[in-house]
């Protein structure tokens, strides 16, 4: 699966196809998509509406079973016929964190409880969950809003709480769906810097669907999806000695 000496990817998508319907109504959402994301990498998925970005995110997030191909998450091959729905849920709970376009915080829980709920679902005690939640909120510099309800948070604060929730279980893989779409450019930059910090410090792989051009320079690789195909051309970002990111044409690292 990997070349000798190559770093083991956290997310390894191999020849994934997904179609909906049959016959005349058949829609090919993904066609033979392959992709690798390594620890510490922050990857962007671009593409017009209907190109298959969210489908790919759903497949990687163990929500949608592919029609063919396989996926390895943190070394575990899923969708090989051995996985029950409950196993996938558990895998999702332990290894994958989600960040949504509109933060999707539970409106009836405070900021800290929105983070703690993930730990609670994973079986941690209430006290332990709360402690870890507050630590995470502090880490994301939104600890002072731990008792605030989501309705009382600003867009940036809500998205940070959402990131804290995604990180609660210390997942190795973070999937983000338009994480900065609801934010202005300044806040979008802050959020992306936070994600990069998380990717580096926690050796996590971050895969984000985005249309937000103003944050393109925050990604290590940018993959383009068109009609379900991962296009040959993607844009890799290089960081020069002065820390300035530039794009360069590259092939997908599949």
Partner 1 sequence: MNLAYRDIRHNLGRFLLTCFGLSLLLGVVLSMIGIYRGLVEDALTLVRTPAVDVWVVESGTRGPFAEASRIPGDTREAIARLQGVSAAGSVTYQTIEAPHAGRKLRLYVVGFEPGRPGGPDRIATGRSIGRSHYEMVADRRSGLLLGDRLELGRDTFTVVGLTDGQVSSGGDPIIYITLLDSQELQFELAPPAARREIARGTGSGNTDTINAVVARVSANASAESIAEAARRWKHLSTMTQAGQETILTRSVVERARKQIGLFTTLLLIVSAVIIALILYTMTMDKLREIATLKLIGASDRTIIGLILQQALAMGVIGFGFGALLITTIKDYFPRRVLLLPEDGLALGAAVILVCILSSALGVRLALKVDPATALGG
Binding site for partner 1 (CB under 8 A): 53-55, 57-58, 61, 63-64, 86, 89-90, 92-94, 98, 100-101, 104, 106-109, 113, 116-118, 120-122, 126, 129, 149, 165, 169, 177, 209
Which tokens is 145 given?
Answer: 């809003």
DSSP 62-124: TSS--SEEEEEETTEEESSS---HHHHHHHHHHHEEEE-TT----TTS-HHHHHHHHHHHTT-
Would you say 164 or 237 has its CB closer to partner 1? 164
Which tokens is 18 given?
Answer: 């997904």
**Nearest distance in Å: CB 201, partner 1:** 22
Those residues whose C-beta lies under 8 Å from the C-beta of residue 16, and which sit 6 or more positions away, are: 30, 32, 33, 34, 56, 59, 66, 68, 69, 70, 71
Which tokens is 134 given?
Answer: 């507050």
Would you say 118 or 136 has its CB closer to partner 1? 118
Would you say 159 or 253 has its CB closer to partner 1? 159
Would you say 63 or 134 has its CB closer to partner 1? 63
Q: What 3-state class would DSSP assign to 7?
A: coil
Angle between helices 126-139 and 155-167 (to 10 degrees): 130
Would you say 118 or 158 has its CB closer to partner 1? 118
**Nearest distance in Å: CB 177, partner 1:** 5
**Nearest distance in Å: CB 161, partner 1:** 13
**Nearest distance in Å: CB 35, partner 1:** 18
Would you say 116 or 142 has its CB closer to partner 1? 116
**Nearest distance in Å: CB 166, partner 1:** 8
**Nearest distance in Å: CB 227, partner 1:** 16
Which tokens is 130 given?
Answer: 């709360």
């Amino acid at each position: 699966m990997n070349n000798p000496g190559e770093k083991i990817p956290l997310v390894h998508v191999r020849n994934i196809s997904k179609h909906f319907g049959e016959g005349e109504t058949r829609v090919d959402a993904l066609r033979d998509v392959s992709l690798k994301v390594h620890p510490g990498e922050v990857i962007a998925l671009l593409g017009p509406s209907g190109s298959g970005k969210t489908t790919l995110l759903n497949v990687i997030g163990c929500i949608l079973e592919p029609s063919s191909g396989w996926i390895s998450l943190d070394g575990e091959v899923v969708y090989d016929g051995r996985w029950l729905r409950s196993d996938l849920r558990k895998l999702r709970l332990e290894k994958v964190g989600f960040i949504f376009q509109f933060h999707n915080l539970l409106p009836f829980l405070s900021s800290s409880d929105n983070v703690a709920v993930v730990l609670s679902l994973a079986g941690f005690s209430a006290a332990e969950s709360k402690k870890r939640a507050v630590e995470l909120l502090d880490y994301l510099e939104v600890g002072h809003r731990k008792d605030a309800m989501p309705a009382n948070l600003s867009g940036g604060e809500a998205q940070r709480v959402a990131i804290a929730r995604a990180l609660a279980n210390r997942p190795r893989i973070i999937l983000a769906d338009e994480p900065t779409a609801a934010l202005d450019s300044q806040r979008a930059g802050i959020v992306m810097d936070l994600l990069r910090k998380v990717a580096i410090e926690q050796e996590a792989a971050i895969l984000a669907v985005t249309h937000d051009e103003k944050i393109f320079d925050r990604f290590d690789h940018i993959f383009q999806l068109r009609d379900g195909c991962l296009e040959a051309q993607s844009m890799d970002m290089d960081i020069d000695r002065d820390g300035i990111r530039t794009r360069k044409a590259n092939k997908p690292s599949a």
